[in-house]
Structure 1
Amino acid sequence: MHNFVLAAVPTPEESREVARKAIHILKQYIADEDLLHDIDLVLTEGCSNVARHAYETDAPCNRLELAVTVVPGEHVIFEISDWGKGICAKTIDFTMPAPEAVGGRGMFIMSELMDSFELIQEDGKNTIKLTRRIKEEQWQRKE
């Protein structure tokens, strides 16, 4: 098992950079470019949501954290965390919004491209935990 933690002040630019760094790490383990693209989309959306929604005001003390756990030959786990206002699990809408909707596609995208989606709120920390099983032929290396 391999663990990585990336952190940033959650601005739009920094949230995108955190997702890019995670993909750079994953390229050491995952060979399938289509899968890496899907994961990049999910991480960009999740990190971007922290930048847009987690904190009431912009401040240098705001924090975005992305933990990546790679279990070679099995799966990857992503934990996108913030210490902001959090979201209510009961209000998450996992359906695709109408075509004319300006936003609201993020949770749908994340839930569709990952195998599991879990919301954890603990001691002021809000985490979206996403797991994706990786097929044997999609691995670059399995150690």
Structure 2
Amino acid sequence: MPLSATLTHDAMLYGSDDEFVSALVPFAREGLKHDEALVAAVTAANIALLRDALGADAAAVTFIDRDEWYKRPATTVGGWQRLLTDALARGHKSVRLIGEVAFGPRREHPTWTRYEAALNDVFAQAPAWIVCPYDSRALPPSLLDDARRTHPATFHPRRCPSEQYLEPEQFLHSVAEPMPPISGPPVLSLDVAEGVAAARHAVSELLVAAGWAGLERGDDLILAMCEIVTNSIRHGRGRRELRVWAQDGTVTCEVSDEGAGVTDPLIGYRPPAQDLTGGRGLWIAQQLCDALTVIRRDATTVVRFAVTRPA
């Protein structure tokens, strides 16, 4: 069927290469028939399967190695947004996306299931059909269950509504983002209520001492930290404190204050509107950090975020 003017987001559970191909090749060819742009971010093995099965039609598909695509949810959302914008600018009326999430270690599973839920809101008005393959041979049953909770329908190969589906806000409230781990006392603790300059200087010195001098990831951490501290100064209350841990090539920062914190669980997933001058700090930090979590704890808002230097 040709695409609707708003998002269609399906999970596709498959247990063999034949199931993968038999479901997605007709999906791809139907999209090409309707002149829809087609992007497939899947495993290298599944790229090979699709190329072989599609034959000459594969030339019209944009293939992406999913291990390079699914680094951080915010950057993946930004990448999909750019691909969608580019496709529409080329004259396509709609886009079909095959997105096979790289869930990574078990501790990262909540991060990526939250991403799957957020897509339903972030791209709600996009002329896109996203099918997310889940390999039942490799993924634990808990992730397959979450697939039914984060996708309005399953696709195998016919679409069936998912009775377990939860609206994005409901799912995000029920599944917490894991906190970046810390160990031992912080190497830096600083009151930042008066401004961000002292924090920038102190963290810059810490990075130099830790061997991060001149590294782009160090610059990313400084920028993210400045955005989060600035948000705390503008919107928080009471004491604003920055704490920093440095261990095993990862620098983790925590900014806390006595403000009300973030009430919208989708902030940080949605790209900020172009006509807004505010609300960009958390989005920027999400783009830059390897992990970021916002929680309320004992009447305190805590933002903890981490950046790991390249090996």
**TM-score category of the 2 structures, normalised to the smaller one:** 0.7 to 0.9
1:25 counterpart = 2:197: no
Deviations 1:2-30 (A, max 9, x none): 7323322513xx23322321121111111
Distance in structure 2 (CA, Å) of the matches to 1:19 and 1:88: 27
**Aligned pairs, number:** 127
Distance in structure 2 (CA, Å) of the matches to 1:83 and 1:35: 29
Deviations 1:15-61 (A, max 9, x none): 33223211211111113342222111111110010110012xxxxxx
Task: Report the CA distance shift for 1:131/1:9 in structure 2 as closer, same or farther (over 3 A).
Answer: closer
RMSD (Å) for aligned C-alpha atoms: 2.1
Q: Give % identity.
A: 24
> What amino acid does structure 1 have at the position aligned with 2:217?
L
1:66 counterpart = 2:249: no
- 1:82 aligns with one of 243, 251, 257: 257
Is there any run of 5+ residues in structure 2 with no aligned partner, and where?
Answer: 1-182
8 Å CA contact 2:217, 2:307 repeated in 1? no
Distance in structure 2 (CA, Å) of the matches to 1:90 and 1:99: 20
Q: How far 1:95 moved relative to its partner?
A: 2.6
Q: Relative contact order (alpha carbons < 8 A, sep ≥ 6): 1 or 2 greater?
A: 1
- 1:95 aligns with one of 270, 287, 291: 270
Q: How far 1:86 moved relative to its partner?
A: 2.0
Other-structure match for 1:58 = none
1:8 counterpart = 2:205: no
Task: Report the CA distance shift for 1:98/1:125 in structure 2 as closer, same or farther (over 3 A).
Answer: closer
8 Å CA contact 1:3, 1:68 repeated in 2? yes
Is there any run of 5+ residues in structure 1 with no aligned partner, and where?
Answer: 56-61, 137-143
Task: Report the CA distance shift for 1:135/1:33 in structure 2 as closer, same or farther (over 3 A).
Answer: closer
Select the structure that is richer in helix. Answer: 2
Select the structure that is richer in strand. Answer: 1
Secondary structure (helix, strand or coil) at the match of 1:67 reads strand
Distance in structure 1 (CA, Å) of the matches to 2:254 and 2:216: 21
Distance in structure 1 (CA, Å) of the matches to 2:246 and 2:199: 16
